[in-house]
Amino acid sequence: MSYLNLDEKKIAKTVKELTVLLADYHLYYQKLRNFHWNIIGKNFFDLHIKFEELYEDAKIKIDEIAERILTLRFQPVSNYSDYLSLSNLKESSSDINDMEMVKILVEDHSKIILQMRKVIENANDAGDEGTIDLIGSYIANLEKVSWMLDAWTMKTNDTLPRA
């Protein structure tokens, strides 16, 4: 690991959290595919497109997270059985309505963001700016998507607190 000038023992903790994040993203990706395929009702067109947009983004992040693990000179896990045991997320039924789908995604985002913060905390302890930079941008993106999905679930008479 000399070319990165990072301590392997400290980086191992970061990689452990990146591995959980990789598992989270795999379950999230598959859940988005499930919702994309199984959405019905008056919001079909909007959510079918949105779920596809989100799973395409998740697919890119999966690759980037795995490549970051490889850059740090570790091997990413690649079996669904491992993902299922490591992930903070759970699988979802295909037989749920649009509102439930969106609420589940917002809940999953919260779990993914918490995992990202664990990654950053460990990367910070290891002086790993590359991982901090990568995951920091993911947090900002996922927070914005979460806000938008949460706004979609609100009734028009719901109000936000004033700043």
- Asked whether residue 40 is assigned to any structural domain, the reply reads yes
Q: Which of 49, 44, 33 is nearest to 98 (CA)?
A: 44
* 66 token code pair: 């795995």
- Asked whether residue 84 is assigned to any structural domain, the reply reads yes
- Asked whether residue 13 is assigned to any structural domain, the reply reads yes
Question: Is residue 113 classed exposed, middle or buried when 0-12, 13-18 and 19+ CB atoms within 10 A define those classes?
Answer: middle
Is 161's pLDDT higher than 90? Answer: no
Model confidence at 2, in pLDDT bands (50, 70, 90)? confident
Main-chain dihedrals φ then ψ at residue 155, nearest 5 degrees: -80, 155
Please give the pLDDT value at position 157.
Answer: 75
Q: Which residues contact 111 (CB under 8 A, 6 or more apart)?
A: 24, 88, 89
- Asked whether residue 147 is assigned to any structural domain, the reply reads yes
pTM of the model: 0.94
- Asked whether residue 43 is assigned to any structural domain, the reply reads yes
Q: Which residues contact 110 (CB under 8 A, 6 or more apart)?
A: 146
Indicate the helix (H) or strand (E) that contains 52: helix 44-71
> Does residue 119 sit in helix, strand or coil?
helix
Please give the pLDDT value at position 156.
Answer: 77
Question: Is residue 21 classed exposed, middle or buried when 0-12, 13-18 and 19+ CB atoms within 10 A define those classes?
Answer: buried
- Express each pLDDT in 89-117 by its tens digit: 999 999 999 999 999 999 999 999 999 99
- Asked whether residue 36 is assigned to any structural domain, the reply reads yes
- Asked whether residue 104 is assigned to any structural domain, the reply reads yes
- Asked whether residue 158 is assigned to any structural domain, the reply reads no
Backbone torsion region of residue 76, taken as left when φ is above 0, otherwise alpha when ψ lies between -120 and 50, otherwise beta: beta
Please give the pLDDT value at position 1.
Answer: 57
Q: What's the number of domains the chain is made of?
A: 1
- Express each pLDDT in 55-80 by its tens digit: 999 999 999 999 999 999 999 999 99
* 163 token code pair: 């700043």
What CATH number should be reported for the domain holding residue 79? 1.20.1260.10
Domain containing residue 62: 2-152
